[in-house]
Structure 1
């Protein structure tokens, strides 16, 4: 699958894996069977695509690079269960794709994501409610943020958001040397087991995420100051914090997802 004359595009975050053993292991860890429909994001030169398409029922592979798409269509033309879309996943109508190619059935996602746009892609996938699970190769630092514990420096909005929709599991760490071109950082294969229901009860999801984002807006501030950005009466905020047993001098990054949900619900109740 090495292609002479192909130039990687740094602006697209292209870093390819050619080691067949590693590619096979990634596909195995994604747990793809002939019952699974799969979306691959960033198919590149098709090295991982081949492993996926041989295991899956149907595959829709997204690739934004015109040159790579031409190579994909040539090298993988034998596979009748593969659709290659020359498109940007961030602009994609995921529901339309799932309805058209998978008869509306939920699918799995496998991807070697470009580092520069990892978080937006993850959130788009989770918020679509169309995925069974999401197996993605991402920057090690981002994987650690997703799996971080409250109070740690890695813990943040992304941690809470991803854990609201899924249960993350780190599967495999890969050094820069297995990629071409070689990135400056290590990568981690992580699986997001998408939940049927969030792990916490939230009355107002929009308010919940506003509270979370405000709490991490200025990490050094105590939560009473951080939540001022919500533009909600301060006495209401103070009463909600006290009701939830949250120290007024506590910082937002120390709150668990359960406490964020409790706080958002308390604020919502008092606003009514």
Structure 2
């Protein structure tokens, strides 16, 4: 029985195209999120040095165990991908995944703290539009990644077919503004607290120190007083744009 918002990609042409777009070299390790029965996993194992596949549904245990034995370069982790990213996991250069809609935004937020060189994700078309549009998640994502739409995927490529079509996107990390990034990583904190913590952390990264009082003084020079008590997750797109432009002054 397929569960956990699972729609399995079965179109071999699309599977191979995703792997080509990932441009994986024989020396690279890959993290796959949402392995399912291993359709994409098998193709990744053909080109990567090593693949770690994370899958929530233990119904796929037998298929993945057989694939692990067959390939010889596959590790399988059964559990929640968001929980896995919080662990002290190995360093991966590439992330590939067919992402259920329910975890698209939480996953993006988690990736703000990761250090992949390339990220290839299949997401619902509507979510891809949010990432590239004038939306709050779009503003947050743009602080960390350049988002490139690679190609569309019809719902007919899945079993069972989802209600919407999908699109494969590439997220390319960019240097960006470090203060903006450190602030937006703290999605669940009030804006004022997040900025103070970000100022202190940026100072540490530069090899210097800053007290909370000093950070507070800098915070109060910004035109953000009305938003300081609002959680970053609750800020609108226009408010986030104001935050980003203000932080770039410091």
TM range (shorter): 0.7 to 0.9
Query: Does 2:96 match 1:110?
Result: yes
Q: 2:79 aligns with which of 56, 75, 87?
A: 87
Q: Structure 1 pair 96/254, CA: closer, same or farther in 2 (3 Å)?
A: closer
SS of the residue 2:161 aligns to: coil
Alignment TM-score, normalising by the size of structure 2? 0.75
CA contact (8 A) 1:115 1:138 kept: yes
Quote the offset at 1:123 in angstroms: 1.6
Pairing partner for 1:16 from 8, 14, 22? 8
Structure 2 residue 177 is matched with structure 1 residue 194: no
Alignment of structure 1 residues 154-193 onto 2, 5 Å: 155-193=134-172
| Rounded Cα–Cα distance in structure 2 between residues aligned with 1:265 and 1:85 | 40
The offset of 1:94, in angstroms, is 5.1
Q: What's the offset of the Cα at 1:204?
A: 8.4
Residue-by-residue CA offset, 1:123-168 (whole Å, 9 max, x unaligned): 21232x33112100001111111111xxxxxx22211111111111
Length-normalised TM-score, structure 1: 0.69
Aligned to 1:260: 243
Residues 260 and 93 of structure 1: CA distance in aligned 2, closer, same or farther (over 3 Å): closer
Between the aligned partners of 2:238 and 2:88, the Cα distance in structure 1 is: 40
CA–CA separation in structure 2 for the residues paired with 1:37 and 1:94: 18
CA contact (8 A) 1:202 1:261 kept: no
Q: Which runs of 5+ in 2 are unaligned?
A: 192-215, 225-235
Compare 75-84 and 163-172 and name the one that shifted more: 75-84
* In structure 1, distance between residues paired with 2:57 and 2:16: 24
Question: Between Structure 1 and Structure 2, how many residues are aligned?
Answer: 211
Aligned match of 1:26: 18
Higher-Rg member (1/2): 1
